[in-house]
Structure 1
C-alpha cells in the first residue's frame, strides 16, 4: 500500500488515413488513475512522456490528445519502467 503503482491508464485512439493509406492524423484519449494523492512526478510523467511519444516513429502530420486524471482509493501513481511511454507505444 505504500509503494507507487505504475500502470493505472486506459487509452483509446483513432487514426485517420488518406486514400493511399498513409497516416494523416491521430487522436488519443488517455485516462489515468492517480491513486489517493499526487506524487512528485506521477501526474506529470504520464502526460509529458505520452505527448513526446504520441506518434511513435511515424510521421503523422496532425495529432490531438485529451488527458483526464482521476483520484481513486488506490496507491499513488509514480514513474515505473518507461513511465507512460509503454502505454502510448501500445496504442500507436
Structure 2
C-alpha cells in the first residue's frame, strides 16, 4: 500500500481530487451565504405591483395579468388565507 502512495501519479491524482472536493464545498458555501445575505427575494406584493405596472404600460394584456395574478395567489398560501387581500379591488381603485 505504501508503494502505491509513493507513486507521483497517485499523489497528483489524490491532490487533484482533494482540490476539487474543497472547491466544490467552497462554492456551495459561498452560494448559500450570498443567497442568505442578499435577501433580495421579491414579495408577492412587489411582483404583483410590477406586473400591474407592466399592464398599465401595455406591455402585457389584461388576460395575462389575470393569469399571473391567479398563479401568484395559488402559489402564496398566506395571501390566499388572508381576508381583504383581493387585488382586483386594488387594481380597480388605481384606474
TM over 0.5: no
- What is the TM-score normalised by the length of structure 1? 0.29
Q: Which structure has greater helix proportion?
A: 2
Q: Which structure has greater strand proportion?
A: 1
Which structure has more relative contact order (CA 8 Å, sep 6+)? It is 1
Q: Which has the larger radius of gyration?
A: 2
